[in-house]
Chain A
């Protein structure tokens, strides 16, 4: 893996380099939060010092919220051809890159989801490390440091960024931007790097103790607190929308008015909604809110480990700041630990 330097005085030139590879997308402020948005001018590409937690994670680039996957007519059915732009996503924090690695496993194990893959191949990830805020707990989910899944990764060391090259695409970028990316990375940079790592490690304040939680999920499956959460839950589904590793969707066939044609729609769904677990014959596998919450936390903290070897919570803290009634990884773990 190569490491280069980008001086902050050359930072403004970065946009033009990236823009040669595709549309540039980066977090921009929206209210008190951020959203990934398309950056049209180089002045608008801003590097934020604080931890940036966008309202929706990068999964929004990889699976459209609502789209047609099939056009149907009496003679044929075909996948609609869509022009997917190459998007360079700048400023992705490590925990979200971990989430991306999880999505990659999920969408490619056993069956490959082509709708995901064709978008995944068109995404270039420019990660960035920053100091944690009061909600980030990725140090507890082992997702605060990232070693794979990005094309380039930036670490802010004061006057310059250290730039890790993580893929061939990343290498193409630094080669094309050879006038701003410097190969001159002296050994003493390592001291700054270690000091930064140490400072960052100490800056985490949200200590959610996840040790043993997988076993506790099993043991506490019938505990009363789930019903208490169930009574509080608004079934708004926000937790599943904002979670970077939630992938649930629904598929529905629709016919066109006055034509022998139709289409098949696929859209984001939520296991917090009653209809999600409704099957033919009006049977519902998870009739109550408490059962749905249990499913979600089982999936995040336990079941995913069995399938993929790691929990599917990356510690981004979105559920903590989003759930209006404070049902989140922190409050659930508190109850699990009694």
Chain B
């Protein structure tokens, strides 16, 4: 019989909701555990084999300490394929909303004062691709069951996972919602990676972009549109940054220029 692929599921800083969502796939768990030889999954098992070499590493969470950074690099060395699993690993998520503003140390001091850290020296939250080569990603905050299982299946078959490269608007229209932008709401649907099935706009709540920025996102056009609709630039940028992580940092200068 063919040897099962080995899988490690690792977590850094985040809510651990991505791993929990995987555990929530109750009907498929037996199939998953049968299809893969799981070496590490702290959220679900004891006897984790930290030293194991794995075919696939799913890495959840952002990197917030030097210790995590060290561990991430070790995982990279042990894994054939490293997958950023969920928003924190992909782009930093909410803990990276002020990334690159130069005020991290000031904020840190405000919260922790002069506390000395000895084991895990804190650092500004960053997505994992800032430190190691990432071979594939699974978007989501947390990833949806369908998309997550689809991606893991593709990985176990040795393929690169495909993802929904269409914005939230596609599934929002599938569900026949009126466009919240037309309703004067600050909705980030067009900028945000789909696959979530648009639950928020379906409940009349604008998209806040939690799955991360889609490749084709046209932030400049959205900024101009929202400005025309009377939103304040600070509010728009703050919303862009909320889940924009490292990707919005690259766009921010241009956006501020346009905003003027």
Contact = CB atoms under 8 A, between A and B. Distances in A.
A62 to B, nearest CB: 15
Given A231-B221, A252-B162, A257-B152, A236 B167 contact: yes
Nearest to A55: B176
B178 A231 contact: no
B218 A322 contact: no
- Name the residue among B176, B177, B216 with the largest chain A CB count within 10 angstroms: B176
A268 B175 CA distance: 13
Nearest to A32: B178
Contacts of B165: 273-275
B190 A258 contact: no
A92 B28 CA distance: 43
Contact of B149 (A235, A237, A257, A269): A257
Contact of B216 (A30, A241, A252, A273): A273
Interface in A43-65: 54-56, 65
A18 to B, nearest CB: 22
Contacts of A270: 166, 170
Contacts, number: 99
Interface in B154-199: 154, 156-157, 162, 165-167, 169-170, 173-174, 176-179, 181-183, 189-191
A334 to B, nearest CB: 19
A56 B215 CA distance: 26
Which bucket holds chain A's interface residue count?
A: 35 or more
B238 to A, nearest CB: 20
A190 interface: no
Interface of B: 28, 31-32, 34-35, 149-150, 152-154, 156-157, 162, 165-167, 169-170, 173-174, 176-179, 181-183, 189-191, 215-218, 220-222, 224-225
Given A31-B183, A252-B162, 17 more contacts: A35-B176, A55-B176, A232-B221, A234-B218, A236-B167, A236-B189, A237-B167, A237-B169, A238-B169, A255-B157, A257-B152, A270-B166, A273-B165, A274-B215, A321-B182, A322-B179, A324-B179
